[in-house]
Structure 1
Amino acid sequence: MTTLHKNSTKPTPPRANPGVRGSSPFRLPVIRAIFKRNFLSYFSNPAGYVFITLFVFVSSWVAFWQPVFFTNNLANLAPLNDWMPYLLLFFIPAITMNTWAEERRLGTDELLFTLPAHDVDVVLGKYLAAIGIYTVALAFSLTQVVILKWLGSPDMGIMFSTYLGYWLMGVMLIALGMVGSLLSANVTVAFILGAVFCAVPVFLGLLGSPLGGALRRQFEDLSVPAQFHDFGTGVVPLAGLFYFLSLAAAFLYVNMVLLGRRHWAGGQASNGRWGHSLARVVAVVMALASLNVLVARAGVRADTSAARLHTLSSETLTALKQIPKDRPVFIQAYYSPDVPREFVETKADMIGLLKEFAAKGGDRVRLNLVETELYSPQARDAEKRFGIEPRRVMTADEARQTSSEVFLGVAFNSGLEEVIIPFFDRGLPVEYELTRSLRVVSRSGRKNVGILNTDAKLMGNFDFRSMGQSPEWSIVTELKKQYNVSSVSPDASLPTDLDVLLVAQPSSLTQKQIDNLTAYVRQGGPVLLFLDPLPYENPQISPEIPRAPAGGPFGGGQPPEPKGDLRPLLELIGIDWPTTEIVWNPYNPHPALADLPPEVVFVSKNSGAEDAFNPSQAVSSGLQEVVTLFPGLLRQRGGAGLDFTPLLRTNQSGGTLPFSEVMQQSFMGPSGINPNRPHFPTGLAYTLAARVQGTPAAEADKEKEKAEEKTKEAKKKAAEINVIAIADLDVISEQFFMLRRQRAENLELDNVTFVLNCVDVLAGDDAFVTLRKRRPEHRTLSLLEAKNKSFIATRQDETKAAEDEAKQLLDKLQKRLDKEVEAVRSSKDMDERTKEIRVLQLQEIANRRLDVDKANIDDQKRKKILEIKGDTEQEIRRTQNEVRAVAIAIPPLPPLILGLLVFATRLRRENQGANPNRLA
């Protein structure tokens, strides 16, 4: 009603009411009051705790019950990460269905809208209350992290980013679920609408599947699971943060529009307002989509993992910056959706690092991650375009050994350059392989590595024994990935344009060839020497064994030219290499390899030798373990005037053996290792590899004589010796490359890393030296690992006992036979001829009986071993089931107990003041 002022005929306008639509928004007291009302009402009702208990139970079941959790053997929530977006499709609508629908059903919405509050205050109050409820539910699910702490040592940085991703998914989906609640007064319908609306961004990738090509990938990238993926691995991307928060803001705006329709719907004012509101919503969505694209291009990502799993090294960042802007690198990665347990970490590292490459490289790197199923169009594309084929790998799981075909390859293209990694074996250093391929494909110039032709035949040759072509050594294949590798003949002057020359077993060269090599070293050519007194893979090329004819011992023709004298070369580089001394050492850190002879020398940082790996040299610092087979030793030769720097050294518990006592000889040549060789410790440590640098004293003296007044200048003119010598050729044998690829017995040997470091340092290109030593640390289920190891150790002991028992039975049978034979031979009642006949008969009968007994003993042993293996697998399964039971039963208990307390308290309050007779 309007009133008239005195002396005025105009009506007085009404006062501004703060409760009407024109009041100022974002009033904190109002938002707080609505938040408190909705938040407390949820937790004052036991039904709310039922939903939370169910949510925690189901998420725990998904996280810990699936076999993939034990298969992966990682202390993280990866199984839950895959399912969390789909679990929220049911839990989020359960929270939001009452937000508006319950108000309308009870008729309290009209009372709510008469409050002195702006629409945005009402929406924010209810939205924050729903977020609060969801946050409490997530807090209860933190007991899953406690379970992981019990089982191992989870990376808390990854746990933080994972739960941040869970929370952001809920923040966005709650805003969407509230839209469904606003459209219906029926709670059930509101739940269904909320689930349908939330399913759109969750299943957006499937909606884009019929489109194919780049458009399909764009739809997949905009889906909730794709945006959450990085959070679950320990990365917080700015693009993911903005995606969830911007969509939450957009759907809150939709809530505002739908809530505001009550002001104009149904009258003349509604004409055109629907179209106007729809246009505003579309404009907001388009603006936020554009901002999402801009934020995604920024490539800002935070690595929250404690082990810095997703932080690129400085070498990788430098390689990314050096990519020409006009020649970007295209990366195609093909990987199987599911991989065996042994390849889980490798796949995670590969995908995570490639994403970092794309983020840090910007427009210089174009990445396409292709999930590849067998026999799919993607699989055919990988094979036809890049030759990437599935690799059949073996895995032992669930008490059986199975094989599966796995895609795990990457192709790099830039201009006309192409580098293919057909398969990532589990032992390969992922970042090193990716960065090396990236740098090689983006740079046109490669350095030159020469392989000197010696009897070691690193480049491969025609084998007269097998009458076939032997392949090149794996070290050559590895070097070709980074360098231009060529074969170098020692019969003429060696080329001077080489950055590094590899010489395997120079003692097999003729004198002329050694002289050519010596001249090359004197000129300052960088050389990597492999000096081995006994190459275990091919003892025929040992220094102490003369050269064999080209066609073998019966090859005929002219006798080969004898081996030359290597002493001039050794004197030039200041090294003393006794060709007849072989180093042995009893140190062996691997109980499973306890049967190895002491001539298999382990160089380890834990061997007790402080300088096992020279920490001041980039070649050797940071290495963990190197294994040599029947190696030699290196000493510094006095008076050479060169810097002799040991790189690998043994501890002082071993000694040396002469070649003649180690290798047995026969008419045909080397016939094997002497099993009865003695081992007497010398108490000395031995150098197995060393670097030699500097100007030889003799060379400096010559320059001095020519120009005494310019001594310093003369020394500068003298060529610098630059040599690394390794007293073992087997350090680069094929078996170590196989161990590196397969990481058999969980051995992480640095043989290949050490040799590649030597080549890089000699070539003056040490960009990858540090990168090769980097080992990402994935936290595993250490509790289960310890129990499984104890089970396996027990099985090994019992298996060995069964084998020993079988051997004892066989020895007993053999002794009984020998005793019977001896009784016949010592009998005085038979002549010698009769004795021989009787012995032969006895042996024939005994051998038949012995064969039967052997077969029975072997069958019993085999059955016992299978029984032991079965018992072990049952123990492992029983342990896993116990873990499952605890991991699923414990997390839901806190909300369940709290809900029961609330129910009991509420029941007690309802009964207070009631007539006891009515309660009876």
Structure 2
Amino acid sequence: MTTLETQPTSKPPAARRRASAPGAFRPHVIWALFKRNLQSYFSNPAGYVFITLFVIISSCVAFWQPEFFASNLANLDQLNRYMPYVLLFFIPAITMTSWADERRQGTDELILTLPAHDLDVVLGKYLAALGIYTVALGFSLSHLVVLRFLGAPDYGAMFATYVGYWLMGAMLIAFGMVASLLSSNVTVGFILGALFCAVPVFLEWLGSPAAGSLRRLIEGWSVPAQFRDFGTGVIPLSGVFYFVSLAAAMLYLNMMLLGRRHWAGGEASSGRWVHSAIRFAAVLVSLFSLNLMIEKAGLRKDMSAEKMHTLSADSLALVRQIPEDKPVLVQAYYSPEVPRDFVQTKSDLLGLLREFEAASGGRVKLNLVPAELYSDAAREAEKRFGIEPKQILTEDQAKRSVSEVILGVAFTSGLEEVVIPFFDRGLPVEYELTRSIRVVSRTGRKKVGILSTDAKMMGGFDMRSMNSTPEWSVVGELKKQYEVSTVSPDAPVPTDLDALVVGLPYSLTQKQIDNLTAYVKAGGPALLLLDPFPAFNPQLAPEVPKMPPGGMFGGGPPPEPKGNLKPLLDLIGLDWPSTEIVWNRYNPIPQLAMLEPEIVFLGKGGGNEDAFNGKDPITSGLQQMVTIFPGLLRPKAGGAGPEFTPLLRTDESGGIVPWDDAVQQGFMGMGINPRRRHTPSGSGYTLAARLVGPAAGDSATPKEADAKKGDAAKDAKDKPATIKVIAVADMDLIGEQFFELRRQKIANLDFDNVTFVLNCVDVLAGDDSFVELRKKRLKHRTLARIEEQTRTFVEQYQKQSTLAEDAAKAKLDDAQKRFDKQVAEVKSRTDIDEREKEIQLNNLQSIAQRRLEVEKANVEDERLEKVREAKADSEQKTRAIENQVRFMAAAIPPLPPLILGLIVFGVRLGRENRGAVPTRLA
């Protein structure tokens, strides 16, 4: 047992009385207690056992759950979710001996008779327990080693996360010490400590019986709610003060309970209890009030690498460009209480609005309006700006409920007005705010035209289906920034457009294509959305003839046939084979592993560094995209025409499926052929390209150039315009599902499809103010090592599939050769007449055709079985890699504390046996 040593002092009596006065603060006493408790814990192997268990449990929580591999992200999201509950068992294991063991051994009397204030004793023991927890947390830093081995974690976000872990433990230790002080039994101290710590951890559950604002207030004061910002890479001052203030309050309660020995049991003890309770309640109220004030201030430090919670330089620059004589009034209407899933969105929205106001120098006037349902503020938001409550389905504690939430913002400047009716969880808050402020502060908007094609992007009545089709979401996005109008292809395209969006241009008639070609030839910027197989409506595929207005059953005059798109493609120097569909095996989303290979994922995670052109502002910074049955683009043979710059490219793990093999016609319409073959080509394909430069075939010969020299005006008039076109071989990439994924943040899927298309329009229109800001989002830090290893298995699966397909084709060829040989033998016979030959050939063909069909079915079943076996083998090997990662994460991190504990145990055992009689050790 370590004892406390006090040094004799030479101070005079007066000084000694001042030093021993109740208000004195003696650091050497705190240090002595800290060292004593810390040494006693780490000199005992049991302490290392607890630390080892803590590291093992946290490792299992972080890496053993299927969600870790399903999300495919190098972070500690799973541990963040369960860390408060892990500490419910570990913190009481640290604090249970703080006072209970002292009272059991009787050493508490020695400590309490020291010439020290109760605060010195409490701080000494508290810092010792905090030191033990800090050491345990330090051993858990091995989680970062595992993440670094698997990928590239955000160390700034990890720092904020561990600060949150430390503060959370620091607060719960104070709760556990109070529990230990109430009992002399270590086991009871552990149980009471777990119960006391459970109060702030499960506070959000305790608030369930309450309703409205009281419930949300109680939930907001729970440990998981206060830790949430730390887990995202932000260190909020309100969160720091919450943990520190509650720890201070519990230490104050600890000191009060420790001081009860001076007055408990006396005549005035009952009054003292009431007085102490009132003092402690006053401390809690004061800290609660201070916490509310600090929370409203909204001060926080963004530690993440992407600075998602801090205004970017682009936003600040755009805000400072607002004319001082034309300020922007921002009115935000929000529900005071929102469902749990929208707490972070509301916090980000209000926090960034305050930062805009502070950084604008008075150019942005902010009015935050809490709007309860059916209140005057809610009616004003609906009547003036169309901001209405939105019904949100929430799942809370195994119960489903529908909440009506108001979360909209109106921007006004002069006569200009922009309204965002509702902020869904997935909307990029800073981008939406910056764009709205910039648009409303400028009187003129650039013009974007949507060419009317069979894609019907602007919506309207469809004569074929006899239904009204809604406007595409991409059009609504463009309307937030541009003046968007419908452009008829039957007349020359207006030349005052800043950009033209054309969906499925091959669906136009020849005259309409000629009008579009004239616009492009004159230098009109255009976004061409091509598609060999539009999944949103396969009947619009280029290989399918136009249907009459009444659909496949007729009911109207025959439509004018589709025109020839080749002249337009030749003009821009583009080759687009409309009968070829690209497929690829790269899929970084494990929960979507069963998707067809024609649903092509684009990303650098699979080693494809050319997935996004890093030198072009449209695609630099993009992380992940999805295309659905896309086509391919390549420059026109001969190299003539505009410069061809690839924007999106697949890796070399895919190939091409011909149109005839990919689709099959049935009674119910066109569908996907389930027996189509996927033969790898070993080549990557361009899915989107930018074409800029003189039109193909417009370069003048020397003789023509000399003829033009005589007339300068004619030279200027005849000078070919610069082609400005972006071509994309898939229109489904801007389908409604991707906008819904972006708005609702479904399954945390985060694709850059919307960002890519909006960037294309911005660059074509010459308005690139938001291109960089739009790309600002969390970096997709995938588990690169697992992807690399599984990529090998995918390649093996492709090889086995190819071998199975080649074997199936060889068997069918052999069957066909046998049939051809039999036919040749019959034809070569001279002993029968032609009539007999014809009869035998017909019989032979009938029999052979039946055998051939049976052979084809058997061969195809055999091929599919081999392909399924290859896929099952690939999936089994992938699961084996995941299991290896699980065991590595669970086995390696606990080794350092375990080894250290064994060393301490060996040293302690050696000291105990030192000097003992050898015969006693036998």
Q: Name the TM-score, length of structure 2 as normaliser.
A: 0.70
Shift of 1:19: 9.2
Indicate the residue corresponding to 1:398 in structure 2.
none
Indicate the residue corresponding to 1:60 in structure 2.
59
Distance change in 2, residues 1:406/1:497 (3 Å): farther
**In 1, distance between residues paired with 2:125 and 2:298?**
34
Summarize the alignment of residues 802-881 of structure 1 with structure 2, pairs less than 5 Å apart: 802-881=804-883
Given residue 334 of structure 2, which amino acid in structure 1 is its aligned partner?
F
**In 1, distance between residues paired with 2:34 and 2:562?**
94
Given residue 62 of structure 2, which amino acid in structure 1 is its aligned partner?
A
Q: SS where residue 99 of structure 2 aligns?
A: helix
Given residue 358 of structure 1, which amino acid in structure 2 is its aligned partner?
L
**In 2, distance between residues paired with 1:406 and 1:881?**
38
Shift of 1:208: 0.5
Residues 534 and 631 in structure 1, CA contact (< 8 A), matched pair in contact too: no
**In 1, distance between residues paired with 2:613 and 2:15?**
85
Indicate the residue corresponding to 1:725 in structure 2.
724
Indicate the residue corresponding to 2:352 in structure 1.
360
Indicate the residue corresponding to 2:384 in structure 1.
none
Given residue 409 of structure 2, which amino acid in structure 1 is its aligned partner?
S
Shift of 1:164: 1.6
Indicate the residue corresponding to 2:80 in structure 1.
81
Distance change in 2, residues 1:864/1:894 (3 Å): same
Summarize the alignment of residues 516-555 of structure 1 with structure 2, pairs less than 5 Å apart: 528-529=525-526
**In 2, distance between residues paired with 1:297 and 1:723?**
54
Shift of 1:165: 1.4
Given residue 855 of structure 1, which amino acid in structure 2 is its aligned partner?
A
**In 1, distance between residues paired with 2:19 and 2:603?**
82
Given residue 361 of structure 1, which amino acid in structure 2 is its aligned partner?
L
CA offset digits 1:830-883 (Å, max 9, x no partner): 222211211111111112222222222222223222222222222222222222
Select which of 406, 414, 418 maps to 2:409. 414
**In 1, distance between residues paired with 2:870 and 2:64?**
26
Residues 614 and 646 in structure 1, CA contact (< 8 A), matched pair in contact too: no
**In 2, distance between residues paired with 1:278 and 1:48?**
35
Shift of 1:555: 10
Shift of 1:34: 1.0
Summarize the alignment of residues 310-325 of structure 1 with structure 2, pairs less than 5 Å apart: 310-315=309-314
Residues 494 and 520 in structure 1, CA contact (< 8 A), matched pair in contact too: no
Shift of 1:286: 1.2
Residues 158 and 233 in structure 2, CA contact (< 8 A), matched pair in contact too: yes
Shift of 1:149: 2.5
Residues 643 and 691 in structure 2, CA contact (< 8 A), matched pair in contact too: yes
Q: Which runs of 5+ in 1 are unaligned?
A: 1-12, 338-349, 369-383, 392-404, 568-575, 595-599, 638-643, 652-661, 664-685, 693-717
Residues 412 and 437 in structure 1, CA contact (< 8 A), matched pair in contact too: no
Indicate the residue corresponding to 2:214 in structure 1.
215
Given residue 529 of structure 1, which amino acid in structure 2 is its aligned partner?
A
**In 2, distance between residues paired with 1:881 and 1:539?**
42
Shift of 1:141: 2.0
**In 2, distance between residues paired with 1:167 and 1:787?**
35
Given residue 476 of structure 1, which amino acid in structure 2 is its aligned partner?
V
Shift of 1:492: 8.5
**In 1, distance between residues paired with 2:114 and 2:500?**
86
Aligned length: 780
Distance change in 2, residues 1:878/1:364 (3 Å): farther
Indicate the residue corresponding to 2:203 in structure 1.
204
Shift of 1:723: 9.0
Shift of 1:366: 7.9
Q: Name the TM-score, length of structure 1 as normaliser.
A: 0.70
Indicate the residue corresponding to 1:105 in structure 2.
104
| Deviates most, 855-864 or 812-821 | 855-864
**In 2, distance between residues paired with 1:886 and 1:607?**
28
Summarize the alignment of residues 58-457 of structure 1 with structure 2, pairs less than 5 Å apart: 58-268=57-267, 270=269, 272-315=271-314, 327-330=331-334, 355-362=347-354, 385-386=389-390, 412-414=407-409, 417-420=419-422, 430=428, 434-435=432-433, 447=445, 449-453=448-452
Given residue 583 of structure 1, which amino acid in structure 2 is its aligned partner?
D
**In 1, distance between residues paired with 2:156 and 2:816?**
64
**In 2, distance between residues paired with 1:170 and 1:422?**
34
Shift of 1:294: 1.4
Given residue 284 of structure 1, which amino acid in structure 2 is its aligned partner?
V
| Deviates most, 297-306 or 83-92 | 297-306
Shift of 1:175: 0.9
Select which of 781, 797, 802 maps to 1:779. 781
Q: Percent same amino acid at aligned positions?
A: 49
**In 1, distance between residues paired with 2:733 and 2:777?**
21
**In 2, distance between residues paired with 1:390 and 1:502?**
38
Given residue 89 of structure 2, which amino acid in structure 1 is its aligned partner?
F
CA offset digits 1:487-546 (Å, max 9, x no partner): 345789999998766577699799999999999999xxx954357999997999999xx9
Q: SS where residue 909 of structure 2 aligns?
A: helix
Given residue 880 of structure 2, which amino acid in structure 1 is its aligned partner?
R
**In 1, distance between residues paired with 2:178 and 2:540?**
81
Distance change in 2, residues 1:284/1:794 (3 Å): same
CA offset digits 1:339-376 (Å, max 9, x no partner): xxxxxxxxxxx9866643332324756899xxxxxxxx
CA offset digits 1:56-104 (Å, max 9, x no partner): 2222222222222222222222222222111211211111111112222
Shift of 1:145: 2.4
Summarize the alignment of residues 505-904 of structure 1 with structure 2, pairs less than 5 Å apart: 528-529=525-526, 578-579=570-571, 582-583=574-575, 592=585, 648=645, 688-690=690-692, 725-726=724-725, 728=727, 733-735=731-733, 737=735, 753=755, 755-757=757-759, 759-760=761-762, 766-774=768-776, 776-904=778-906
Residues 94 and 132 in structure 2, CA contact (< 8 A), matched pair in contact too: yes
Shift of 1:129: 0.6
**In 1, distance between residues paired with 2:531 and 2:199?**
68
Given residue 732 of structure 2, which amino acid in structure 1 is its aligned partner?
E
Residues 160 and 303 in structure 2, CA contact (< 8 A), matched pair in contact too: yes
Distance change in 2, residues 1:411/1:801 (3 Å): farther
Given residue 356 of structure 1, which amino acid in structure 2 is its aligned partner?
D
Given residue 327 of structure 1, which amino acid in structure 2 is its aligned partner?
Q
Shift of 1:45: 1.7
Q: SS where residue 331 of structure 2 aligns?
A: coil
Residues 30 and 117 in structure 1, CA contact (< 8 A), matched pair in contact too: yes
Distance change in 2, residues 1:22/1:581 (3 Å): closer
Shift of 1:207: 0.7
Q: SS where residue 272 of structure 1 aligns?
A: helix
Residues 533 and 541 in structure 2, CA contact (< 8 A), matched pair in contact too: no
**In 2, distance between residues paired with 1:420 and 1:490?**
35
Select which of 900, 908, 912 maps to 1:906. 908
Shift of 1:918: 3.4
Return the index of the structure with the highest Cα Rg.
Answer: 1
Shift of 1:178: 0.8
Residues 88 and 170 in structure 1, CA contact (< 8 A), matched pair in contact too: yes
Shift of 1:16: 6.6
**In 2, distance between residues paired with 1:259 and 1:687?**
75
Shift of 1:804: 1.8
| Deviates most, 43-52 or 618-627 | 618-627
| Deviates most, 235-244 or 507-516 | 507-516
**In 2, distance between residues paired with 1:566 and 1:477?**
31
Residues 330 and 409 in structure 2, CA contact (< 8 A), matched pair in contact too: no
Given residue 39 of structure 2, which amino acid in structure 1 is its aligned partner?
L
Residues 582 and 633 in structure 1, CA contact (< 8 A), matched pair in contact too: yes
Task: Give the root-mean-square deviation of aligned CA atoms.
Answer: 5.7
Q: Which runs of 5+ in 2 are unaligned?
A: 1-11, 355-365, 372-387, 411-417, 588-599, 649-658, 661-687, 695-716
Distance change in 2, residues 1:332/1:480 (3 Å): farther
Q: SS where residue 773 of structure 2 aligns?
A: helix
Q: SS where residue 185 of structure 1 aligns?
A: coil
